[in-house]
Amino acid sequence: MNQASDQVGDQLGDTRISPQRFRSIIAGSAGNLVEWYDWFAYASFAIYFAPIFFPAGDETAKLLNTAAVFAVGFIVRPIGAYIMGVFADRRGRKAGLTLSVALMFAGSMLIAIAPGYASVGMWAPIILIAARMIQGLSLGGEYGASATYLSEMAPRKNRGFWASFQYMTLCGGQLAAIFVAVLLQSLMSEEQLSAWGWRIPFAIGALLALGVYVMRRRMAETQSFENLDQTRMPKSTLRHLWRAHRRSAILVAILSAGGGLGAYTFTSYMQKYLYNSVGFSKATATYVVAFALLYFTAMQPVFGALGDRFGRRPMLLLFGIGGALAAIPFFLTMQQVTSPYVAAALLLIPLTLQSGYSANNALVKAELFPAHIRGLGVAFPYAIGNAIFAGTVELVALWLKKMGVESLFYVYVALIIAAAGVATWLLPETRDNSLILED
C-alpha cells in the first residue's frame, strides 16, 4: 500500500491516520452513538410516557418516578462495567463492544413494546425497570470497551483528537435522541406523542443497535490487546484492580462523579429543568437543549486537539475549577430568563467548560491503566462514580424542588464538580506518561 493510501485526510492539519485505523474508529464511534441514543431516548421522552407507567400524582411526581427508573439504570451499570470490563480484557475489546450493543437492542425493544399501567397495572413499571436494567448493563460495558478501543486505536501524536470521538458520539447519540423528539413534535400532536408516539424512538434505536451488532462483528482488534500475553499477565479482576491500581481507580471514580453529574445536569436534566422550573413549553425546552448539544458535540474534537497540544490535565482542570465556579451563577441567572435564545446562550457557558472534561476524560482513564486490566480499570470506577452521582441527578433535583429548596441543587452541583477538580489535581499528566505503549 503506497503512502498516499496510507493516510486519510489532514482535517485539522495534524490528524493524519491510516485507513484501517480510521475505519475502526468510525465503526467503534458509530456503535457508541447508537448505544447512547438508546440510553438518552429515555430521558428525552420521559415527559411524554411518564403518565403511561405512573398515572398518579402531579407533574413533578410523575417525572420523579421516571427519574427513579432512570437512576436504576445507573445502579446496574457497575455490574455491567465489571462483567464486560473483564470480558474485554480477557476476550478482546471487539468482543466486549459486540456484547454490549446486543444487550442494548434487547433493552430498547422491550421499552418499545412495553404495556402501560392501564393494561397490566403494576407490571408496567416493573417491565420498564427491567428494560432499563438491561440498558444499564449494556452501557456499563459500552463506556469502558469503547473508551479503551478508541484510545488504543488512536495514534500517539493525535490520541486526544481521535479519542474525543468517544464523547463526541456520546453527545451525538443524545443529540440524535433530541432531534428525533423535535421531529416527532413537529409531525405529531402532544396527545399522540403521549399516547403512542413515544414508542417510535425506542423501536428506531433497537433496529439501529441490531445493525451495529453486525458491523461490530467485522471490526479489527486493537494492537494493545493482541500484544498481550495472557499467560504472563495477572487476570483482570476487581481484587487485582484494588491491590495494584487503587489510587488511580479512586481518582477515576471521583473524576467520573463530577464529570458525569455535570454532563447530565447540563444536558439531559436541562430539558426538564427548562420545562418544569424555568417555565418553557416542552417543545421550546427541547429546541434549546438541541441547539446547545449541537454546539457541545462540535466542541469535543476541538478540546481533544487542545489536550494533545497543552496536555489532558489543564483541560480537566478547566472543567473542575471553572465548572464549579460557574454552576450557581448559571442556575440563578437561568431562573430569571424568559427568552429561549438567552437560555440557549447561557447554556453554552457550562457546556464549554464541560468540554474540557468530556473530550479528554476517557483517554486519561485509558492511559492510567496497563493493557491487561485497562477495560476494567476504565469501566468500573467510571460506573461507580456515575451510578452514585450522575444517575441520581434528576432524582435529587426533582426531590429538592418538590421539597421547596431547589436552590440547594445548585450548590450540590458545584460541590461535586469541585471534587472532580481536586481529583484532577492529584492525577499525573497522562499525555507524557501514558501506559498505552503502542503507537
Cα 131 to Cα 62, 76, 113, 355, 363: the distances in Å are 19, 12, 10, 30, 30
Q: What is the mean pLDDT of residues 391-411?
A: 91
Q: Which residues are CB-neighbours of 51 under 8 A, at least 6 positions away?
A: 62, 194
Query: In order of start, what are the domains of the chain with their CATH numbers?
Result: 22-426 (1.20.1250.20)
Q: Would you state the cell numbers that stand for residue 214, as one nine-digit string?
A: 453486525
pLDDT tens, residue by residue, 2-16: 443 344 444 444 556
pLDDT band at 57 (very low <50, low <70, confident <90, very high): low
Alpha-carbon span 38 to 390, nearest angstrom: 17
Of the two residues 124 and 256, the one the predictor is more confident about is 256
Of the two residues 27 and 134, the one the predictor is more confident about is 134
pLDDT band at 271 (very low <50, low <70, confident <90, very high): confident
pLDDT for the residue 10: 42
pLDDT for the residue 56: 66
Q: What is the mean pLDDT of residues 294-321?
A: 95
pLDDT tens, residue by residue, 198-213: 899 999 999 999 988 8
Alpha-carbon span 93 to 88, nearest angstrom: 5
List the beta bridge partners of residue 8: 17
Q: Which residues are CB-neighbours of 171 under 8 A, at least 6 positions away?
A: 36, 267, 293, 296, 297, 300, 358
Answer whether 236's CB lies under 8 Å from 90's CB.
yes
Average pLDDT of the chain, as a whole number: 86
pLDDT band at 70 (very low <50, low <70, confident <90, very high): low
Residue with cell 457546556: 351
pLDDT for the residue 357: 96
Predicted confidence (pLDDT) at residue 418 exceeds the cutoff of 80: yes
pTM of the model: 0.83
